Structure 1
Amino acid sequence: MMKKITIGLVAHVDAGKTTLSEALLYQAGDLRKWGRVDAGDAFLDPEKLEKQRGITIFSHLAHLAKDGIQFNLIDTPGHIDFAAQTEASLSVLDYVILVVSANSGITSYTKVLWDLFAKYELPVFIFVNKTDLAYDKDKLLQDLQENLSQNCLDFTDQKDLYENLATADEALLDKYLATGKLDDEDISRLIKQRKVMPVYFGSALKLQGTQELMAGMARFCQAEEGGDDFSGQVYKISHDPKGERLTWLKITAGKLQNRMELVDGEKINQIRIYNANKFETVNQAIAGEVVALTGLKHTYPGQGINQEDAPQASLIPTLRYRLKPLNMDVHTAIDKLALLKDEEPQLHLTWSEALQEIQLEIMGQIQLEILQQELQDRFGLEVAFDEGGVLYKETITRKIEAVGHFEPLRHYSEVHFLLEPAPRGSGVILANECSLEVLANNWQQQIMTALASKEHLGVLTGYPLTDVKITLIGGRASNVHTVGGDFREATYRGVRQGLMELKVRKACQLLEPWYKFKLHLPQTLLGRAMNDIQKMHGEFSEPIMLGDSVVLEGQAPVSEMRDYASEVRNYSHGQGQIEYSLAQYQPCHNAEEIIEQMAYNPVADFDNTPNSVFCSHGAGHTVTWDQVPEAAQFPYQYPLD
């Protein structure tokens, strides 16, 4: 049986990634005509928007065979605005080909991708592209080793290769010293364990080095051995031209058959094997295949079927915009947008009832322009976007016990949580330390489900809560009056009550996203750039002098830096270039100003009330959040100070 291996082509924009995919398919005999990105006829950029823009916007699948191996080839977007699609694809890859441009070297986004490969434990092959142009091979290899890994080794130079390979593993070094050689199986294991990253050099445009790259992958890639029971990993949701919903999935073990029941009682209608935008239907597929399924309505990117979900995404939107329909009413537009929300959950398309507006979160300006055109082409929806704001978040700086109570007539529930700060970038962490002697398991499960099903908002501005651990530590139920839904109400009120207590104690904190940047400039403009970054409340490291030019790396708030790229182009007359990638959320540099602008009243946010409901004299009545601890008359494990 032919081995099946899924590889992804990943790169910074303009590194030549799609050109490489075309070259590989052409040389393998899977393409009769070799397409070009700039000509708009690339096999793996089949969408209208991709042809117009000359960039990959969506991840695409193709297949090629080499030396008895079937490679599923996933070409991913290169522009950072579409990085969420790239990251989603990583969860189904066996190996990744990182494409690096010989004339650009390692960019800040390349480092972001490298960190993602580590997160998903992906073995990496590196193809240094565009070597038909002037470049310094030794300097590029040094750049890879210093900025990515010392174990990026040149596989095109056999002179010292085996000796360098042996030093990557102590046991292999002993074998090499004893025998003077290494087997392919030894090298395959080093690559699979991420102890070695093979580097190949060439020009995809000139069909140079591409055969060597593919031969190396066929020689050293190992197929995963799955079990007999079916499992799979979803990485993408899309809709075909007829509106059929497609669930893109890699089969990680077992066998998939048509009409098989997968999720929530839903059965597969079709199993499709895609090659770019063309497909064939099959009755079954086996482990290692990447397929698109019809008939499933409740799947989502990152979902594991009979296995764990993919890790939580690292690359998240940082900009928030208001979407205004121009040629239809808001509620009709919302129905149209439901398909897009299904395909791209990272956009966080939401309807704000209080503001009567559609909101979305995106990565950058290019994504916004593409989205506007996509809505027009697919749905006939003309839209405008208000000047977007930055997506702030909120966290807490100390722990507190929170309580929520819901007791209208003939209902009863009470919950106690411990809210405490969590590490930066960890999101909202949920835990349960409640004894079954205090609260029955079924009630605890309802509480934990309610916690997980809601995006919890902060009380300073109403932006999402992050970097907080919420632990269930206690609660009460009634054998007579507690019914389904009671604990959901008490849960939401409890979290908000604790946040209000922290707000009074000045222990709530507003966070803002920061960009990492890498700025290339003529040396004469260095002073101007450093002054700009300081005005933006940013920070930078020691400048790197490269002849008449300079590289300045650092971090700055997104709110200050989002339009700086055009400013750089203007003051440098096109000679300057800046690269961005998301760093992390940090305390907001102008928090008081933002909080005042938002004028958010958490008590008036009735969908997220911090108040509780108690019953007395046969009727339910509201108790304000600050009076809830006294009204609950429940012994606190973490007394309020």
Structure 2
Amino acid sequence: MQSHTHQHAAQRQEKHQHALNLGILAHIDAGKTSLTERLLHSAGVIDEVGSVDDGSTQTDSLALERQRGITIKSAVVSFAIDDVTVNLIDTPGHPDFIAEVERVLSVLDGAVLVVSAVEGVQAQTRVLMRTLRRLAIPTLVFVNKVDRRGADPERVLAELATRLTPAVAPMGTVRDPGTRAARYVPYAADDPRFTARLAELLAEHDDALLSAYVDGDAAALSFGGLRDVLTKQTRKARFHPVFFGSAMTGTGLDALTGAVKELLPAAAGGADGPVAGTVFKVERGPAGEKVAYARMFSGTVRVRDRVPLAGHAEDGKVTAVSVFEQGAAVRRDAVAAGQIAKLWGLTGVRIGDVLGDARAVPERHAVAHHFAPPTLETVVVPRRAADRAALHAALTQLAEQDPLIDLRQDTLRQEISVSLYGEVQKEVIKATLADEFGVGVEFRETTTICVERVAGAGEHFEIIDTDPNPFLATVGLRVEPAPVGAGVEFRLGVELGSMPYAFFKAVEETVKETLGQGLHGWEVPDCVVTMTRSGYWPRQSHAHAVFDKSMSSTAGDFRQLTPLVLMDALRRAGTRVHEPMHRFRLTVPADVFGTLLPALRQLRAVPHTPAAHGSAYVVDGVIPAARVHDLEQALPGLTRGEGELESAFDHYAPVTGTPPARPRTDHNPLDRKEYVQRVTRRTRVG
């Protein structure tokens, strides 16, 4: 009996050597969750295909997801294709939940991008494909809903090539599209038009194939000769095979499943290497305990192991492990490289944490910001004043699961703000607080999150024991602009040995914290701050050897002085407020285009030259993020309900006129008297 058990364990381990972590991504309503259901059914994991409309799907497990028929949280479910164990991750399609998609990208070996055969390429489709290609994630395209009325596979294929990437080619065709009888027919290996088109596209990235193409080498240009090149280029994300089908009827699913196994790369990494993994999701268990979802890239983590967490002072101790097998999370003694697991016991764990050795995590898989941050925010107000503390605790827990909601506590006004991608996310937060925490809330008006960019160079310093400096520290800082996206860089323009390292560290940390609120209250994202002066009083004692704070500098002196110096340097440099801008694409009936232009101008939109598409006009342009919702509301009335709008964040642009200000939540270093009173009062109380 014992040997039989070991044999099964060995078989499971063998299976895990062929793991594939697969993401299903799409614009909302393309049928991504239905496709997940069909894949699970085909693999024998579930007996019946669940319905999004009926709320009976495997991956939409939240009550709110079932009620709304949308995916809000990423979900992991597993199935087998022969000897490959696929960990399939269903992600949200609604743009308000793009942060959930962002975290999943860091754990994927490959992806299936789902596109509707009716609606075609949409705003979110383009955002997702751009990111998948930038991160070089091997991606198959599945054109779903070929059985729906209005399905037009040829039109969608043309859109894929013109609006996503020319590196796409169909692997088959659809008979009777737009009817319940629609079926996918793979191209035959000896179809000359298919192999010629495939060879032409693949030759763009393969010199040997290009030579064969020019020379007319029939053997190299046959499908048998092209198969290896197709696999290699797909796995390098240089080429994207396109499949067609229907998640409802199941046509095309066999071809897609075969391609997942043959064309996408299995997870790499050895179970015997150093422990390395990343946490991409955190949730709370029934007893309130933290549960971390981690993708392992190297090594093995076992129950009762102590695991280093990058950036944490103490290791975490794993108390339980679940891995995903045949549709469910199953308790196991360990999780090995290539697998995704749920880990218990890591009490301080956060999304983005690296388990073990960060050097063993491939660069592409490091959790990073691939999409634009939220551009909206709102104040959350409890309906009952007595729920204020409960609201803070509940929002803190939600921020663990989605760090980008970015809680902003205003202790002066006793208010909490959250960052948002859109109005739907606001509704979900409200429902979650009521359903899961029993806290009823209302929201203030949604406002736009701007940024402040440094306009020039500015410098200021204050000397120890010299008016008006009340702190035992000398700090000099110079602020200069940096390129967009560069972040905040702190440099030393003084000798590192001129004072204790802890004092330099205190200045650096305070600089980065203080730049969260610039002259107008907005974050200052891209600049270089150089420390130009430093000075301190060394530790002083009385004759009886008692430490005297009044005669000795501490890190607190540097933390308290730095905001005053930095803000004065920032005043000299000057800042300019920039607002987020969305790129939009409007499709409207040609006869209403003329009446639409004045409305666009009123919303401060800048349309480009329109293009005629049959009886419709298509116009691109940019619009302030603050006015996108207004345009969405006005569009049906302006276009008889026939207008279609796509929009996505594009860039920040300078605000014209009076710059908007954001209420400060710090001790206001712009007002020296008020600031000094507050920090010295806080110090005395402490």
Q: Settle same-fold status: TM greater than 0.5.
A: yes
State the 1:200 CA deviation: 1.0
Give, in whole Å, the separation in 2 of the partners of 1:268 and 1:550: 58
Given the alignment of the two structures, is residue 289 of structure 1 paired with residue 347 of structure 2, yes or no? no
- Output the amino acid matched with 1:545: A
Given the alignment of the two structures, is residue 257 of structure 1 paired with residue 294 of structure 2, yes or no? no
- Using the aligned pairs only, state the percent identity: 27
Given the alignment of the two structures, is residue 230 of structure 1 paired with residue 275 of structure 2, yes or no? yes
Q: Which blocks of at least 5 consecutive residues in structure 2 are unaligned? A: 1-13, 173-186, 360-365, 540-551, 681-686
Query: Quick one: structure 1 residues 427 and 436, their matched pair in 2 at CA, closer, same or farther if it must change by over 3 Å?
Result: closer
1:433-472 alignment to 2 at 5 Å?
434-439=494-499, 441-452=501-512, 456-460=516-520, 462-472=521-531
Which stretch shifts more, 71-80 or 97-106?
A: 97-106
8 Å contact 1:37–1:54 — kept in the other structure? yes
Map of 1:180 onto structure 2: 220
Give, in whole Å, the separation in 1 of the partners of 2:556 and 2:252: 62
The DSSP-based 3-state class of the residue aligned with 1:167 is helix
State the 1:425 CA deviation: 4.2
Query: Quick one: structure 1 residues 548 and 538, their matched pair in 2 at CA, closer, same or farther if it must change by over 3 Å?
Result: same
Give, in whole Å, the separation in 1 of the partners of 2:513 and 2:320: 31
Given the alignment of the two structures, is residue 517 of structure 1 paired with residue 584 of structure 2, yes or no? yes
8 Å contact 1:320–1:389 — kept in the other structure? yes
Which stretch shifts more, 312-321 or 29-38?
A: 312-321
Map of 1:635 onto structure 2: none
State the 1:231 CA deviation: 0.5
- Output the amino acid matched with 2:376: L
State the 1:611 CA deviation: 4.7
Give, in whole Å, the separation in 2 of the partners of 1:501 and 1:42: 58
State the 1:587 CA deviation: 0.9
State the 1:57 CA deviation: 0.7
8 Å contact 1:43–1:276 — kept in the other structure? no
**Corresponding residue to 2:667 among 597, 606, 628:** 606
8 Å contact 2:143–2:153 — kept in the other structure? no
8 Å contact 1:568–1:576 — kept in the other structure? yes
Query: Quick one: structure 1 residues 120 and 343, their matched pair in 2 at CA, closer, same or farther if it must change by over 3 Å?
Result: same
- Output the amino acid matched with 2:350: Y
State the 1:375 CA deviation: 0.6
Root-mean-square deviation (CA, aligned residues, Å) is 2.8
8 Å contact 1:430–1:470 — kept in the other structure? yes
Map of 1:421 onto structure 2: 481
Given the alignment of the two structures, is residue 403 of structure 1 paired with residue 464 of structure 2, yes or no? no
State the 1:201 CA deviation: 1.3
- Output the amino acid matched with 1:414: T
Which stretch shifts more, 519-528 or 60-69?
A: 519-528
State the 1:530 CA deviation: 2.1
State the 1:562 CA deviation: 2.1
The DSSP-based 3-state class of the residue aligned with 2:653 is strand
State the 1:569 CA deviation: 1.8
Deviations 1:525-554 (A, max 9, x none): 212222222222221222222222222221
The DSSP-based 3-state class of the residue aligned with 1:298 is coil
Map of 1:352 onto structure 2: 410
Give, in whole Å, the separation in 2 of the partners of 1:139 and 1:245: 47
8 Å contact 2:453–2:577 — kept in the other structure? yes
Given the alignment of the two structures, is residue 77 of structure 1 paired with residue 96 of structure 2, yes or no? no
Give, in whole Å, the separation in 1 of the partners of 2:324 and 2:402: 20
1:463-502 alignment to 2 at 5 Å?
463-480=522-539, 481-502=552-573
- Output the amino acid matched with 1:537: R
Map of 1:216 onto structure 2: 259
The DSSP-based 3-state class of the residue aligned with 1:93 is coil
Query: Quick one: structure 1 residues 433 and 274, their matched pair in 2 at CA, closer, same or farther if it must change by over 3 Å?
Result: farther
Query: Quick one: structure 1 residues 473 and 128, their matched pair in 2 at CA, closer, same or farther if it must change by over 3 Å?
Result: farther
Give, in whole Å, the separation in 1 of the partners of 2:228 and 2:564: 58
Given the alignment of the two structures, is residue 273 of structure 1 paired with residue 323 of structure 2, yes or no? yes
- Output the amino acid matched with 1:377: D
8 Å contact 1:404–1:495 — kept in the other structure? no
Map of 2:76 onto structure 1: 61
8 Å contact 1:519–1:578 — kept in the other structure? yes
- Output the amino acid matched with 2:335: A
Give, in whole Å, the separation in 2 of the partners of 1:510 and 1:222: 45
State the 1:426 CA deviation: 4.2
Give, in whole Å, the separation in 1 of the partners of 2:163 and 2:598: 27
Given the alignment of the two structures, is residue 561 of structure 1 paired with residue 628 of structure 2, yes or no? yes
Query: Quick one: structure 1 residues 214 and 374, their matched pair in 2 at CA, closer, same or farther if it must change by over 3 Å?
Result: same
Give, in whole Å, the separation in 1 of the partners of 2:462 and 2:235: 50
Query: Quick one: structure 1 residues 347 and 407, their matched pair in 2 at CA, closer, same or farther if it must change by over 3 Å?
Result: farther
The DSSP-based 3-state class of the residue aligned with 1:320 is strand
Which stretch shifts more, 143-152 or 182-191?
A: 182-191
Map of 1:630 onto structure 2: none
Query: Quick one: structure 1 residues 259 and 185, their matched pair in 2 at CA, closer, same or farther if it must change by over 3 Å?
Result: farther
Map of 1:629 onto structure 2: none
State the 1:379 CA deviation: 0.2
Map of 2:350 onto structure 1: 300
Map of 1:98 onto structure 2: 113
Map of 1:205 onto structure 2: 248
Query: Quick one: structure 1 residues 184 and 517, their matched pair in 2 at CA, closer, same or farther if it must change by over 3 Å?
Result: same
Give, in whole Å, the separation in 2 of the partners of 1:271 and 1:291: 7
- Output the amino acid matched with 1:448: E
Give, in whole Å, the separation in 1 of the partners of 2:329 and 2:465: 57
The DSSP-based 3-state class of the residue aligned with 1:23 is helix
- Output the amino acid matched with 1:103: V
Query: Quick one: structure 1 residues 435 and 550, their matched pair in 2 at CA, closer, same or farther if it must change by over 3 Å?
Result: same
TM-score normalised over the length of structure 2: 0.82
Query: Quick one: structure 1 residues 280 and 585, their matched pair in 2 at CA, closer, same or farther if it must change by over 3 Å?
Result: same
Map of 2:234 onto structure 1: 191
Give, in whole Å, the separation in 1 of the partners of 2:327 and 2:430: 22
- Output the amino acid matched with 1:83: I
Give, in whole Å, the separation in 2 of the partners of 1:145 and 1:10: 18
Give, in whole Å, the separation in 2 of the partners of 1:32 and 1:477: 72
8 Å contact 1:393–1:463 — kept in the other structure? yes
TM-score normalised over the length of structure 1: 0.87
Aligned residues: 605
8 Å contact 2:34–2:51 — kept in the other structure? yes
Which stretch shifts more, 199-208 or 527-536?
A: 527-536
- Output the amino acid matched with 1:116: T
The DSSP-based 3-state class of the residue aligned with 1:165 is helix
Given the alignment of the two structures, is residue 377 of structure 1 paired with residue 444 of structure 2, yes or no? no
Map of 1:628 onto structure 2: none
Which stretch shifts more, 128-137 or 359-368?
A: 128-137
Query: Quick one: structure 1 residues 267 and 86, their matched pair in 2 at CA, closer, same or farther if it must change by over 3 Å?
Result: same
The DSSP-based 3-state class of the residue aligned with 1:190 is helix
Q: Which blocks of at least 5 consecutive residues in structure 1 are unaligned? A: 616-620, 623-641
Structure showing greater radius of gyration is 2
**Corresponding residue to 2:472 among 404, 412, 415:** 412
